[in-house]
Amino acid sequence: MNLSALRLDSSPISAPQRSFNGGRNRGERSVLFLPCASGTSRKLIQCSAKAVASSSPLGVAEQTGDVLDRIGSLSQVSGVLGCQWGDEGKGKLVDILAGHFDIVARCQGGANAGHTIYNSEGKKFALHLVPSGILNEETLCIIGNGVVVHLPGLFKEIDGLESNGISCKGRILVSDRAHLLFDFHQVVDGLRESELANSFIGTTKRGIGPCYSSKMIRNGIRVSDLRHMDTFPQKLDLLLSDAASRFKGFNYGPDVLREEVERYKRFAERLEPFIADTVHVVNESLSKKEKILVEGGQATMLDIDFGTYPFVTSSSPSAGGICTGLGIAPKVLGDLVGVVKAYTTRVGSGPFPTEILGKGGDLLRLAGKEFGTTTGRPRRCGWLDVVALKYCCLINGFSSLNLTKLDVLSDLPEIRLGVSYKQIDGTPVKSFPADLHVLEQLKVEYEVLPGWQCDISSIRNYEDLPLAARQYVERIEELVGIPIHYIGVGPGRDALIFK
């Protein structure tokens, strides 16, 4: 995909920002181009890197002691969390690191989190509930108490893995405290979005919000309730009756309840071998000095507390969600790796200060294949937002970063970094603001860096990257103050550079 159409002008331009309901904002956001911080020439930098091939998930870098030492030195409880609005490529890093951990655990979210990973033969797997460590045969995968579980979807994933030779028996545990997400939650999700009309949130319509709502008003049904089919029908009737009273378009009667109860009797029998007190399992593993890797779903900018509310998810994808979603003490949390794209994307409605509108955004979307793993929806695309990234790093306390999809920018003659915000009157905005009105009107200041315009997808050593690519990586490190230890240069399992 040729992205040369994204060449930048040398003079400031103005572009209308998308309003939060998906339309256009009447105002315009001015853009200030700053000189390249490194002061380097912007002429085309040719690539002289050599291609490196390897069948190992870690590539040639795995053979170096410093890389193994770095991964091996990760804390007993480490985590991989998103730094933007999700879809950063967290699953790939989890898959690679999983071989060095005993347990990979999901702590929040549900089937709205889609992680795409590839096995050693290059076969693609799209996971939604099953942790991305499942491709590593020695890894135990845990779905924690903070996750909302749609059983039909979980069984479909398990069947798909088993049919491709990936054994799940004895390798997946589901918390008995996790809440069940029913099909009717998905119906309610769609009805709720329809009610909001032009102010819709842009959810995946997978029922995540309604399920968490049931949990919070304390009439939800948990996995442990499947062991008590004598009381299960009454609890389900309460849930369904509540939905029917709230939404006129929701059809409910005795036949619906009877069919659903019979269905869940079968589900309960199949799920029983997977059910466990995962709070006990996790903490017992810690006492045995076993290592746990936490796989976050979504990302900090979608956090119910810290994200662009109300255009957020219904759980806590930031560091705090690890403790509440798995039942572990804050004092045991160690290294957290933040995953960030070399540019920015988001789906659905909501503020997006560095969004590229029009043809430029379309070109970036096609080059990066930016379509949702869960829904297939096209993602909105824009430049890397350093202000948002620094905000996420502050909240989570990341020890290092994983910069993904650097290869997607390879055709660009120049690249922008959104380095600061200002209000319309020129007042600096010191952090990522909570006020949507401020976000709608702010101005983004950009630095312009040279592109490298050559294929870097076969490179496996950092020193072999073209100079401009290294300058881009190191400028991000300088602005954020956190080292980038992992760099993604392609979708393959081995397409990762260790820095």
- Asked if 110 and 42 sit in the same domain, the reply is no
Q: Across the strands, what pairs with 378?
A: 371
Residue 84 is assigned to a structural domain of this protein: no
Residue 59 is assigned to a structural domain of this protein: no
pLDDT at 68: 73
pLDDT at 54: 37
The 10s digit of each residue's pLDDT in 431-490 is 999 999 999 899 999 999 999 999 999 999 999 999 999 999 999 999 999 999 999 999
Residue 78 is assigned to a structural domain of this protein: no
- Asked if 149 and 266 sit in the same domain, the reply is yes
- Asked if 148 and 181 sit in the same domain, the reply is yes
Residue 393 is assigned to a structural domain of this protein: yes
pTM score:
0.85
- Asked if 242 and 294 sit in the same domain, the reply is yes
Quick one: which of 87, 52, 56 has its CA closest to 71?
A: 56
- Asked if 253 and 160 sit in the same domain, the reply is yes
Domain of 420: which CATH number?
3.90.170.10
Residue 340 counted as an annotated binding residue = no
pLDDT at 14: 31
Quick one: which of 436, 346, 340, 432 has its CA closest to 394?
A: 432
- Asked if 393 and 465 sit in the same domain, the reply is yes
- Asked if 323 and 341 sit in the same domain, the reply is no
Residue 185 counted as an annotated binding residue = no
Residue 273 counted as an annotated binding residue = no
Alpha-carbon distance 284 to 121, whole Å? 35
Residue 382 counted as an annotated binding residue = no
pLDDT at 201: 60
Q: Tell me the helix, strand and coil percentages in the chain, rounded to 5.
A: 35, 20, 45
pLDDT at 373: 65
Both structure tokens of 318: 């930031």
- Asked if 321 and 385 sit in the same domain, the reply is no
- Asked if 125 and 232 sit in the same domain, the reply is yes
Residue 424 is assigned to a structural domain of this protein: yes
CA of residue 421 relative to chain centroid, distance: 24
CB atoms within 10 A of CB 478: 10
Domain of 226: which CATH number?
3.40.440.10
The 10s digit of each residue's pLDDT in 300-309 is 999 999 999 9
Alpha-carbon distance 463 to 475, whole Å? 16
Residue 490 counted as an annotated binding residue = yes
Residue 261 is assigned to a structural domain of this protein: yes
- Asked if 381 and 318 sit in the same domain, the reply is no
Residue 70 counted as an annotated binding residue = no
CB atoms within 10 A of CB 475: 19
Residue 341 counted as an annotated binding residue = no
- Asked if 132 and 256 sit in the same domain, the reply is yes
Domain range for 226: 100-299+314-329
Ordered DSSP codes for 3-35: -GGGPPPSS-EEEPPBPTTSSB-SS-EEEEEEP
Residue 298 counted as an annotated binding residue = yes
Q: How many domains does the chain have?
A: 2
Catalytic residues: 87, 115, 215
Both structure tokens of 341: 């794209």
- Asked if 354 and 262 sit in the same domain, the reply is no
Positions in the chain short of pLDDT 70:
1-66, 113-114, 194-204, 373-375
Residue 355 counted as an annotated binding residue = no
Q: What DSSP designation does 222 have?
A: B
Residues listed for the chain: 499
Give the CB-side neighbour count of residue 421, counting CA atoms within 13 A. Answer: 21
Residue 71 is assigned to a structural domain of this protein: no
Residue 377 counted as an annotated binding residue = yes
Residue 146 is assigned to a structural domain of this protein: yes
